[in-house]
């Protein structure tokens, strides 16, 4: 019997540009993502690596296309999600609607439903505001 067949299948997602003022080497990002999967009893699927161009989310969009085949997405950091609220919210809601959980390995945070997402999105929005980044969202009350 294949033990990994009963484990949730979580796809890794790492980057090649700076997020939240840091750019760890890709091998370090992969180690953090893989460790997160192991700690949460999930089968780690090789990470997709986002392109270095600013505001590029080609690989993140690829995850949306394979959503039916995975149970979770583990980003090295939740700060890798788009700065634009509408783009970020659309991507995460598409994943959640298809039963795909979203995780930030560096922050050790998980999003399983809309309530989890609201708390994480407020954190991201606050961070973007403090960094002086243009965002199209107000914090929830």
Which CATH number does the domain housing residue 73 bear?
Answer: 3.40.50.1390
Residue 141 lies in a domain: no
* H or E stretch at 46: strand 43-49
Does a structural domain hold residue 83?
A: yes
> Which domain, by its residues, includes 41?
7-130
The reported pLDDT for the residue numbered 2 is 44
How many separate domains does the chain show?
1
The per-residue pLDDT of the chain, averaged, comes to 89
Query: Which position has the higher pLDDT, 63 or 54?
Result: 63
The tens digit of pLDDT for each residue in 66-124 reads 999 999 999 999 999 998 899 999 999 999 999 999 999 999 999 999 999 999 999 99
Least confidently predicted of 19-23, 42-46, 72-76, 81-85: 19-23
Measured CA to CA, the distance from residue 95 to residue 92 in angstroms comes to: 5
Residue 41: left if φ>0, alpha if ψ -120 to 50, beta else—which one?
Answer: left
Residue 45 lies in a domain: yes
How far, in Å, CA of 79 to CA of 90, rounded?
16
Specify burial of residue 60 (Cβ count, 10 A radius: 0-12, 13-18, 19+): buried
Does residue 138 lie within any of the structural domains? Answer: no
In this prediction the pTM is: 0.88
**In-domain check, residue 74:** yes
């Amino acid at each position: 019997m294949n033990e990994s067949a009963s484990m949730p299948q979580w796809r890794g997602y790492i980057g090649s540009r700076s997020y939240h003022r840091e750019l760890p080497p890709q091998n370090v990002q992969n180690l953090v993502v893989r460790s997160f999967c192991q700690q949460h009893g999930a089968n780690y699927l090789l990470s997709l690596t986002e392109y270095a161009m600013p505001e590029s989310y080609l690989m993140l969009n690829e995850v949306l296309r394979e959503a039916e085949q995975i149970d979770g997405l583990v980003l090295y950091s939740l700060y890798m999600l788009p700065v634009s609220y509408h783009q970020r919210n659309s991507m995460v809601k598409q994943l959640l609607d298809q039963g795909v959980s979203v995780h930030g390995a560096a922050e050790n945070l998980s999003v399983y439903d809309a309530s989890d997402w609201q708390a994480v999105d407020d954190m991201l929005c606050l961070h973007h505001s403090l960094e002086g980044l243009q965002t199209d969202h107000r914090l929830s009350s």
